[in-house]
């Protein structure tokens, strides 16, 4: 099978690494990719938002499957021309991708499907926003309606700050605050059949102790020893299947990866958000535990034959990933610095997945984005996986590098609900 992966981040590197280990994959390509992906796939400098260019590349390569990693090309409608050309594509069409592209759309689908989520108002004026904030009280949750790379959400006790964020966005969703630990649960679907993956937890805030601004994600781990038994079955029944069924019913079936961001609140499980693609950095730990070869699963979702697949097989091992970010991330990341110690980290047993990197003129690896690397390791339990991931981080250096030191710490120490 010839596979083309679209995207540039550590999620795409994790996808490419798993695909490169699948004996069914004869050729692996990525557009545009990064310096790490270049080690396992042939790179092509194509604009990932340009559906015609991506389709032309897939045709030229004779791709049997195109896997679209990030949300932006999905929301821009890159899947449509590929499907029209008869090329199997893993990822939803533009309409179904609105589940991520518009928080207001997602709320509407959830209401129609009876999926439990935070009560909310969609607001377009400062007066509406103020009324919504006062209806729920503090802590205030204000979300940009459109795509914002995980950074469009403000959760604050400060009413003025909440109003300021609302004013900076064209359209906002203001919703009730959900307490309780968060879980990311991914499911692969062909629009009818839904196959949940193993749950993971990510760390959205920039600093230790969940302080600092929201980011794209600073680390993740799986499994969740503290999660209630039966969680996956419950979420499949109350969230994932009804959502997929609702989109099918609307005539815009969702195929690809449905990501449910959940809060386990005192009043039950609630959806915080949906994403229309693999989450980053949770993908790095979820795929590290998947034993079933990946390409056939993604192709079955693209082909509509997921119902015929054997149950997925998983490793009992634990996986932890720690994101190394550049100085100034998330506000104003510094780029262009050489990265040292990549091989040493891998020799120590960590798997270094590249996010924002590029190759320099002399073949050196340079920082090229906010999140630079995702250092991943597996171990017999979370404590071992964590120790190996942090040993890998300790080997790597670049100017101004920053990372959280508490990824998976509470869960590895056996705490019930981090
Ligand atoms: P989102 O982009 O919707 O996932 O939001 C980013 C982060 O903001 C989430 O992972 C939560 O930590 C937080 N958040 C979002 N919505 C809520 C909510 N209703 N209550 C509490 N925290 C929230």
Tens-digit pLDDT profile for residues 7-43: 999 999 999 999 999 999 999 999 999 999 999 999 9
Mean pLDDT of 221-235: 97
Does residue 175 have its Cβ closer than 6 Å to ligand 1?
Answer: yes
Does residue 182 have its Cβ closer than 6 Å to ligand 1?
Answer: yes
pLDDT (tens digit, 9 = 90+) per residue, 321-343?
999 999 999 999 999 999 999 99
Kindly state the tokens that stand for 109: 């689908």
| Cα 213 to averaged position of ligand 1 atoms, centre (Å) | 12
Ligand 1 atom nearest to 273, measured from its CA: 3
Q: Pinpoint the alpha helices (H) of 290-402.
A: 294-303, 342-347, 382-395
Which segments of 33-99 are extended strands (E)?
Answer: 42-43, 65-68, 89-90
Q: What is the DSSP letter of 334?
A: -
Kindly state the tokens that stand for 297: 């699963």
Q: Report the C-alpha gap between 48 and 116 in whole angstroms.
A: 34
Q: Report the C-alpha gap between 226 and 409 in whole angstroms.
A: 13
Per-residue DSSP letters for 248-312? HHTT----EEEEEEEEEETTEEEEEEEESS--TTHHHHHHHHB-S-HHHHHHHHHHT-GGGSPPP
Kindly state the tokens that stand for 122: 């969609």
Percent over 90 (pLDDT), the chain: 93
Mean pLDDT of 221-245: 97
What is the best residue among 139, 155, 174, 279 to mutate for testing ligand 1's pocket, by most ligand atoms within 8 Å of CB?
155
Q: What is the DSSP letter of 403?
A: -
Which segments of 50-133 are extended strands (E)?
Answer: 65-68, 89-90, 120-123
Does residue 204 have its Cβ closer than 6 Å to ligand 1?
Answer: yes
Mean pLDDT of 108-125: 95
Mean pLDDT of 69-75: 96
Check pLDDT > 80 for residue 146. no
Does residue 178 have its Cβ closer than 6 Å to ligand 1?
Answer: yes
Q: Report the C-alpha gap between 279 and 282 in whole angstroms.
A: 6
């Amino acid at each position: 099978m010839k596979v083309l992966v679209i995207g540039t981040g550590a999620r795409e590197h994790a996808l490419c690494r798993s695909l490169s280990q699948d004996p069914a994959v004869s050729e692996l390509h990525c557009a545009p990719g990064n310096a790490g992906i270049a080690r396992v796939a042939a790179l092509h400098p194509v604009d990932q938002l340009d559906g015609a260019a991506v389709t032309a590349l897939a045709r030229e390569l004779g791709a049997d499957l195109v896997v679209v990693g990030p949300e932006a090309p999905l929301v821009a409608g890159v899947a449509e021309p590929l499907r029209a050309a008869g090329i199997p594509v893993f990822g939803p069409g533009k309409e179904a991708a609105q589940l991520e592209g518009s928080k207001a759309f997602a709320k509407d689908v959830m209401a129609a499907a009876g999926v439990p989520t935070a009560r909310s108002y969609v607001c377009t004026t400062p007066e509406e926003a103020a009324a919504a904030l006062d209806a729920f009280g503090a802590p205030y949750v204000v979300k940009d309606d459109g795509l914002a790379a995980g950074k469009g959400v403000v959760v604050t006790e400060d009413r003025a700050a909440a109003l300021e964020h609302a004013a900076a966005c064209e359209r906002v969703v203001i919703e009730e605050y959900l307490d309780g630990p968060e879980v990311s649960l991914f499911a692969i679907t062909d629009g009818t059949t839904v196959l949940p993956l193993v749950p993971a937890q990510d760390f959205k805030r920039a600093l230790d102790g969940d302080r600092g601004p929201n980011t794209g994600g600073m680390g993740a781990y799986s499994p969740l020893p503290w999660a209630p038994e039966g969680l996956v079955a419950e979420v499949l029944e109350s969230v994932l299947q009804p959502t997929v069924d609702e989109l099918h019913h609307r005539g815009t079936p969702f195929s690809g990866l449905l990501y449910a961001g959940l809060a386990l609140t005192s009043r039950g499980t609630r959806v915080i958000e949906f994403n229309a693609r693999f989450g980053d950095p949770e993908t790095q730990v979820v795929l590290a535990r998947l034993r079933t070869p990946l390409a056939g699963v993604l192709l079955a979702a693209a082909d509509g034959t997921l119902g015929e697949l054997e149950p997925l097989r998983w490793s009992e091992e634990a996986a932890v990933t720690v994101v190394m970010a550049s100085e100034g991330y998330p506000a104003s990341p510094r780029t262009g610095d050489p990265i040292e110690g990549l091989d040493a980290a891998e020799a120590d047993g960590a798997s270094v997945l590249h996010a924002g990197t590029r190759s320099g003129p002399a073949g050196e690896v340079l920082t090229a984005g906010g999140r630079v690397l995702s250092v991943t390791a597996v171990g017999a339990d979370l404590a071992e996986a964590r120790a190996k991931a942090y040993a890998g981080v300790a080997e790597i250096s670049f100017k101004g590098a920053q990372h959280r030191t508490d990824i998976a710490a509470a869960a590895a120490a056996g705490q019930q609900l981090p």
